[in-house]
Amino acid sequence: MFGFIKKGLQKTLDAISSIIPEKKVKITKEELEYILLEADVEYDLVEIILRELYQNDITREQLRSKLLATLSFAQNTLPDNPEKPTVTLIIGVNGAGKTTTIAKLAQRHLNNGDRVILGAADTFRAAAIEQLTRWADKLEVPIVSSRQGHDPSAVAYDTIESAKARGFEQVIIDTAGRLHTQTNLGNELKKIVRICDRAHTGAPHHKILVLDGTQGSSAIAQAKAFNEMIGIDGIIITKLDGTAKGGSVFSIAYALELPILYIGVGEQPEHLIPFNKYEFVDGILDAIFGEIKNS
């Protein structure tokens, strides 16, 4: 798994290594500031990290402790739902990789022996319905869908009712990805949440926001807006393999105080990796100080 994380962060790690081509036992605060900003850690967080590191020459262990502290809310677990089915609502703007992420999550559930049903509640775009249907066919899982323009709450309701009737363990529902600034989207999402609860008390049990890692720290504004709309339970950050902005993970975790559940580092199902803050931080540190040699 660590290999996948390092491979997925390669562009970020290469950018860091270009700043510190020769590995050192210690780096200066000035070097660290440049590294963090280059990796797209938000400036305010960089200032906090530097202020709380008292020495000018910083060791690996000192920096490791501080970086892990910024990820203190990023544990990658959500409470289990004893009353099956577990209903997961997937949220995010268009282009963030929602549909592919849904397919990867469905595959993970299938690998765990759970039965999965998908709900195509992004009825705003016909292409979204078609894309999710293709994934459902590929994974050989059922899908509940409707025509473009149909009430997305009705699709969510029907998906949950179908799962209950057929004894399925997992329901994953896609939602529209229009711009997060639109009031009508906020109202639509709130209605879907209410209708899910009507279909199955306590649903949706997990409201997961998918963020595009290539947007870096600018994704924080998106996340805050969605969190204010309906309350987000956890985050998945996609496309980290395609960007040198991997340091934005620190900013996102610190600013939102929400679990980072998975990171996406490729197109294949196995490229949705459970987020492990220790492995993530150690990958960054290896690019700065060099890998620790096992004796």
More confident residue, 4 or 162: 162
- How do residues 223-242 score in pLDDT, each as one tens digit? 888 998 899 999 999 998 88
Q: What is the b/e burial string over 190-222, where b = at least 16 CB atoms within 10 angstroms of the residue's CB?
A: eebbebbeebbeebbbbbbbbbbbbbbbebbeb
Write down all domains in the chain, each with its CATH number in brackets.
2-74+280-289 (1.20.120.140), 86-274 (3.40.50.300)
- Average pLDDT estimate for 140-155: 92
Is the pLDDT reported for residue 181 higher than 60?
no
Per-residue pLDDT, 124: 86
How far is Cα 273 from Cα 280, in angstroms, rounded to an integer?
11
Residue 167 has a pLDDT of: 96
Q: Output DSSP code: residue 205.
A: S
Burial of 23 (0-12, 13-18, 19+ CB in 10 A): middle
Determine the pLDDT at residue 179: 55
CA–CA dist 288, 24 (Å, integer): 8
Average pLDDT over residues 121-146: 93
Query: What pLDDT band is residue 41 in, cutting at 50, 70 and 90?
Result: very high
**Pairwise pLDDT comparison (64 vs 186), residue with the higher score:** 64
pTM listed for this prediction:
0.92
